[in-house]
């Protein structure tokens, strides 16, 4: 399901069932809406700006983006949304880390994504791409794994932080292949990519949007994508499955969530009809 | 908007809230298994 109508329908349906009690629904929205992005500027807020523009156009209210970085993997900003007033005026545009990965790695996570955040709509997905610095002598995932084993303790992989999707994908590669790679967590993707470009570190799983320019310019070497089928932007690149690692899948995504309404979640009546146009 | 998402190298995925909830639940289950196996 793609296109403007389906997006608006999904957004309207999501807002209807998640964000506001009936008393608010009569006039919603009557003031600006805030979308919190729990990361530093760049990355997810590219999609957030698209969503804000669309929502503002159809709802007739300003929709502002607030970056709220901090904590591990976006958990600080996510907690701020999870504890916000569930009035429909605080939304969240996120990527996987604080929602589907953090619960797996933080025993003391102080919010429950399932209970405290209601899904409104998935917006976009992208496979991850495994890239290495060109100095690493590998032309395939199998060659990279073999190189890591032959140089145990010397080969590393980077991530934007502990408990991020990139981190878990690296761990999955270790589990599935026995690759001897050490995790080096950074504070965000930007410094991780900078050090990878400089040859200070060796390997990175990140979404195609972030890495494609560097692959196309030859500054990084892509070995595989984590989708079920090859990506149309990089059709020459095999999947991890084609590279011999069964069921190795991983998707970056961006989605819109909100604190769930405390009252009668299904009775909002007056989402503007233009949302469905 | 879908065309813009495509230009950014991503795939538009405008499902229902229910679809999104199921996706998140499945992903959480999958990554939890990986984290436990990796002893994180």
DSSP string, A60-112: SS-EEEEE---SGGGHHHHHHHHTS--SSSEEEEE-SIIIIIHHHH-TT-SS-
**Residue A91 in this model has a pLDDT that exceeds 50:** yes
Q: Do B9 and A13 touch (CB under 8 A)?
A: no
Sole residue written with tokens 């050090």:
A195
Sign of CA dihedral A199, A201, A205, A207: negative
Interface residue A91 vs chain B (CB under 8 A): no
Calpha distance A68→B4 (Å, rounded): 25
- Sorting pLDDT into bands at 50, 70 and 90, what band is A46? confident
* Residue A236 and residue A142 share a domain: yes
pLDDT for residue A121: 86
- Sorting pLDDT into bands at 50, 70 and 90, what band is A14? low
Chain B nearest C-alpha distance from A135 (Å): 26
**All residues at 6 or more sequence positions from A135 whose CB lies less than 8 Å from its CB, including other chains:** A199
Q: Do B11 and A126 touch (CB under 8 A)?
A: yes
Interface residue A18 vs chain B (CB under 8 A): yes
Torsion of the alpha carbons at A51, A55, A61 and A64, rounded to the nearest 10 = -10
Residues of A (57-86) whose Cβ lies below 8 Å from B: none
Query: Can you give the CATH number for the domain in which A160 is found?
Result: 3.40.190.10
Give me the domain span that covers residue A247: 126-251
What is the average per-residue pLDDT within A218-236?
A: 95
What tokens were used for A222?
A: 């892509």
* Residue A205 and residue A91 share a domain: no
* Residue A184 and residue A228 share a domain: yes
Which among B12, B15, B31 is the nearest to A104, CB-wise?
B31
> Searching chain A, which residue's CA lies closest to the CA of residue B12?
A124
Total domain count for chain A? 2
Interface residue B15 vs chain A (CB under 8 A): yes
- Which of A230, A224, A263 is closest to A244 using CA atoms? A224
More confident residue, A197 or A103: A197
Interface residue A106 vs chain B (CB under 8 A): no
Sign of CA dihedral A177, A183, A188, A189: negative
* Residue A63 and residue A16 share a domain: yes
| Strand pairing class (A33-37; A90-94) | parallel
Helix (H, G, I), strand (E, B) or coil at A18: helix
Query: Can you give the CATH number for the domain in which A96 is found?
Result: 3.40.190.150
- Sorting pLDDT into bands at 50, 70 and 90, what band is B9? confident
More confident residue, A236 or B10: A236
* Residue A226 and residue A208 share a domain: yes
* Residue A137 and residue A115 share a domain: no
What CA–CA distances, in Å, run from A114 to A234, A263, B26? 35, 17, 12
pLDDT for residue A104: 87
* Residue A100 and residue A61 share a domain: yes
Which chain A residues are within 8 Å of B32, Cβ to Cβ? 103-104
**Residue A222 in this model has a pLDDT that exceeds 80:** yes
* Residue A145 and residue A94 share a domain: no
Chain B nearest C-alpha distance from A142 (Å): 21
| Strand pairing class (A221-225; B11-12) | unpaired
**Residue A70 in this model has a pLDDT that exceeds 60:** yes
- Sorting pLDDT into bands at 50, 70 and 90, what band is A97? confident
Q: Do A104 and B34 touch (CB under 8 A)?
A: yes
Which chain B residues are within 8 Å of A100, Cβ to Cβ? 24, 27-28, 31
* Residue A53 and residue A141 share a domain: no
- Which of A4, A15, A124 is closest to B17 using CA atoms? A15
pLDDT for residue A266: 35
Chain A nearest C-alpha distance from B14 (Å): 5
pLDDT in tens, A125-142: 999 999 999 999 999 999
Which among B1, B23, B24 is the nearest to A50, CB-wise?
B1
Which among A1, A126, A212 is the nearest to B14, CB-wise?
A1
**All residues at 6 or more sequence positions from A213 whose CB lies less than 8 Å from its CB, including other chains:** none
Chain A nearest C-alpha distance from B8 (Å): 6
**Residue A265 in this model has a pLDDT that exceeds 70:** no
Q: Do A174 and B38 touch (CB under 8 A)?
A: yes
Q: Do A118 and B27 touch (CB under 8 A)?
A: no
- Sorting pLDDT into bands at 50, 70 and 90, what band is A110? confident
pTM of the entire structure? 0.82
> Searching chain B, which residue's CA lies closest to the CA of residue A119?
B17
> Searching chain A, which residue's CA lies closest to the CA of residue B2?
A3
* Residue A202 and residue A113 share a domain: no
Could you count the other beta carbons within 10 Å of the beta carbon of residue A176? 17
- Sorting pLDDT into bands at 50, 70 and 90, what band is A54? confident
**Structural element, H or E, at residue A257:** strand A251-258
């Amino acid at each position: 399901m793609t296109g403007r109508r389906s997006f608006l329908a999904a957004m309207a349906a999501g807002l209807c069932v998640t964000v506001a009690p009936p008393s608010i629904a009569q006039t919603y929205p009557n003031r600006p809406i805030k979308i919190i992005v729990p990361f530093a500027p760049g990355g997810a807020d590219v999609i957030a700006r698209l969503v804000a523009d669309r929502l503002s156009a159809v709802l007739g209210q300003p929709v502002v983006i607030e970056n709220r970085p901090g904590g591990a993997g976006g958990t600080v900003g996510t907690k701020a949304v999870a504890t916000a007033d569930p009035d429909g005026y605080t939304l969240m545009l996120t990527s996987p880390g604080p929602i589907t990965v953090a619960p797996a790695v933080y025993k003391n996570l102080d919010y429950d994504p399932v209970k405290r955040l209601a899904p409104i709509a998935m917006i976009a997905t992208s496979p991850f791409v495994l890239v290495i610095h060109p100095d690493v002598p590998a032309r395939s995932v199998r060659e990279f794994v073999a190189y890591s084993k032959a140089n145990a303790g010397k080969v590393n992989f980077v991530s934007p932080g502990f408990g991020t999707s990139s981190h878990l994908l690296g761990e999955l590669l270790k589990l599935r292949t026995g690759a001897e790679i050490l995790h080096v967590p950074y504070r965000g993707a930007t410094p991780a990519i900078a050090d990878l470009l400089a040859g200070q570190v060796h390997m990175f799983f990140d979404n195609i949007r972030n890495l494609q320019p560097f692959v196309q310019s030859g500054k990084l070497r892509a070995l595989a994508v984590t989708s079920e089928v090859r990506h149309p932007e990089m059709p020459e690149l095999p999947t991890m499955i084609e590279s011999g690692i069964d069921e190795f899948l991983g998707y970056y995504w961006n989605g819109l969530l909100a604190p769930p309404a405390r009252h009668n979640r299904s009775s909002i009546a007056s989402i503007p009809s233009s949302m469905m146009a | 908007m879908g065309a813009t998402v495509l230009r950014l190298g991503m795939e538009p995925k405008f499902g229902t809230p229910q679809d999104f909830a199921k996706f998140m639940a499945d992903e959480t289950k999958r990554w939890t298994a990986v984290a436990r196996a990796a002893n994180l």
